[in-house]
Structure 1
């Protein structure tokens, strides 16, 4: 059976953020992820992880001004230096303090007035630079195709394009974050995609949610028990991120997890 990481940005909204670590541990999770750690003292986050015996599986590098609509900076030529400062001055120090070995680098929303070839060239250049900067810390960098319904205009939407970019950059510590929710919305045929990409070694993290409402994985059109068996058969051993919005109380909605166990 796969192992799972609770996404504390979306799960346990009935608790204050710092109390979500205890709630996840009480429900049997051994790993957590969330979007951003930068709002809280990193020593406090590290203490919550230690106290509750949790592994920090993943978080995102600074995305720019989230409230103003930024969704990452990596493909934006006019914000190259901001992207690089955020990685070196914020994300990597946080990763060291939290013992986190994976960072997601958000590509950004593609501006209408900049050619896609220019954005792609910037993206590849920034990813190559970032992979080299993160290598000394043993940190794996991830890029994630995100569906355009949830994030209109996002630069990267498809699995095949993400894998082509990873291959073109050619850095051993650059991989794809494969969210099955986004994959189903954009492309479908999720089981075939898993069979195609997991054996490649280019997938660094998996995430799940029900489709289309992004609730628990026992709702919607994806057959997760079948997919969990397939993921096991393909040899995946890392915790899978549960990046979904609970329908009601988080703990009450974990019947899918109890059945999976």
Structure 2
């Protein structure tokens, strides 16, 4: 059975952010992820991880001005210096938190932009970041995100993401395969898992119910079946639970209790 990590940016809103670590551990999670840690001192977060006995498995590099609607910088030619500065900050946090993976957001396609120029910039920035990460013992992840939730996002399809990883050709770069986004854009999830997991290019998996992005036992996907596929394929990584609880977080964790029981 996969190892599950609670996404503390979306889950446990009943608690202040720094109190979410203990809440997640109390509910049986062994790891956590979140979007951005930069509003908090890394020492505070590290202490909460240690106290709760949790592993930090993933967070995002700075995405530009998120509150103003920016969704990453990696594919934007005019923002290279800012991208590199932000990634250096992310690596510092990753070292302090013992986090092995950093998600780098590509960004929204500017009006009238040349897609080939964005692709070249994306690959150039990812090549640089992947080498920085590899030297520090970390991995950079890129994630296709559906255009309904994030209109205009540069990277939307699994095939595109894997082609980028192949083009960059660095051991420090992998794909973050979010099954929620993949279902909305492409579907055919079991086939895609069986196609891409054996390549070794998938560094992290995330889940949520489709279409409402609530608990994974709601909506159109059969996650118990997909968890079995992950087991059959020998996936040993984490599964991030990046969903918005329909009501209280703990009240909606029946799926986790069943999954953990099945794993025993």
Structure-1-length-normalised TM-score: 0.99
Matched, 1:120 2:119: yes
In the other structure, the counterpart of 1:215 is 214
In the other structure, the counterpart of 1:64 is 64
Once superposed, which parts of structure 1, at least 4 consecutive aligned residues long, lie more than 6 Å away? Answer: none
In the other structure, the counterpart of 2:41 is 41
Matched, 1:176 2:175: yes
In the other structure, the counterpart of 2:231 is 232
Q: What is the RMSD computed on CA atoms of the aligned residues?
A: 0.5
In the other structure, the counterpart of 2:145 is 146
After TM superposition, the structure 1 = structure 2 runs for residues 71-82 of structure 1, keeping only pairs within 5 Å, are: 71-82=71-82
**Structure 2 segments unaligned to the other structure (5+ residues):** none
In the other structure, the counterpart of 1:23 is 23
Give how far 1:113 is off: 2.2
- CA distance in structure 1 between the partners assigned to 2:50 and 2:156 by the alignment: 36
Give how far 1:2 is off: 1.2
- CA distance in structure 2 between the partners assigned to 1:15 and 1:134 by the alignment: 32
- CA distance in structure 1 between the partners assigned to 2:94 and 2:170 by the alignment: 19
Matched, 1:166 2:165: yes
In the other structure, the counterpart of 2:84 is 84
Give how far 1:132 is off: 1.2
Secondary structure of the corresponding residue to residue 182 of structure 2: helix
Secondary structure of the corresponding residue to residue 185 of structure 1: helix
Q: Deviations over 1:205-238 (max 9, x none)?
A: 0000000000000000000010000111100112
Secondary structure of the corresponding residue to residue 50 of structure 1: helix
In the other structure, the counterpart of 1:51 is 51
- CA distance in structure 1 between the partners assigned to 2:133 and 2:25 by the alignment: 29
Matched, 1:97 2:93: no
- CA distance in structure 1 between the partners assigned to 2:219 and 2:166 by the alignment: 33
In the other structure, the counterpart of 1:9 is 9
Q: Deviations over 1:20-41 (max 9, x none)?
A: 0010000011100000000001
Secondary structure of the corresponding residue to residue 161 of structure 1: helix
Structure-2-length-normalised TM-score: 0.98
Give how far 1:248 is off: 0.5
- CA distance in structure 1 between the partners assigned to 2:3 and 2:224 by the alignment: 13
- CA distance in structure 2 between the partners assigned to 1:164 and 1:7 by the alignment: 27
Secondary structure of the corresponding residue to residue 151 of structure 2: coil
- CA distance in structure 2 between the partners assigned to 1:2 and 1:140 by the alignment: 20
Secondary structure of the corresponding residue to residue 57 of structure 1: strand
**Structure 1 segments unaligned to the other structure (5+ residues):** none
In the other structure, the counterpart of 2:252 is 253
